[in-house]
């Protein structure tokens, strides 16, 4: 297993960046690799299972492992057949009044290396105003 940690900072307030994570229906607005999410609840909660939809109709099952609203931190595992990626996300106060988000990706090296650029783009968009 390999681990990569990514960070991005931007002008968006930490509370708003967190809400973009906490409401799965909003993921496709800032994560270009996500075209939709099927989930039975409007807000993240530990134990929630769903499916994330990507390009070309690819759908991958996921399980939310943990959510800490106060710390603005959550973790989930996404599966593609036998391959699993464990992702831990967090949002904190940024150095210039905005927010900083972090993402730790754990999984097989080729998958982590292939996914990291898309993930970096997504978290960079997460902390910036959309539009």
Domain ranges of the chain: 2-126
Cβ–Cβ under 8 Å, residues 130 and 18? no
Query: CATH for 2-126?
Result: 3.30.530.20
Rounded to an integer, the average pLDDT of 4-33 is 97
Instruction: Flag whether pLDDT at 131 surpasses 80.
Output: no
What is d(CA 95, CA 45) in angstroms, rounded to the nearest whole number? 29
Q: What is the pLDDT of residue 106?
A: 98
Confidence at residue 130, expressed as pLDDT on a 0 to 100 scale? 84
What separation, in Å, do the N-terminal and C-terminal C-alpha atoms of the chain show?
37
The overall pTM is greater than 0.85: yes
């Amino acid at each position: 297993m390999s681990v990569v940690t990514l960070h991005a900072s931007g002008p968006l307030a930490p509370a708003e960046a967190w809400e973009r994570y906490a409401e799965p229906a909003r993921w496709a607005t800032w994560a270009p690799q996500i075209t939709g999410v099927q989930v039975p609840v409007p807000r993240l909660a530990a134990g929630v299972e769903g499916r994330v939809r990507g390009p070309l109709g690819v759908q991958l099952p996921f399980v939310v492992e943990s959510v800490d609203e106060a710390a603005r931190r959550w973790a989930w595992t996404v599966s593609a057949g036998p391959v699993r990626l464990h992702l831990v996300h967090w949002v904190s106060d940024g150095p210039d009044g905005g927010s900083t988000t972090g993402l730790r990706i754990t999984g097989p090296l080729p998958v982590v290396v292939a996914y990291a650029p898309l993930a970096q783009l997504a978290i960079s968009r997460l902390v910036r105003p959309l539009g």
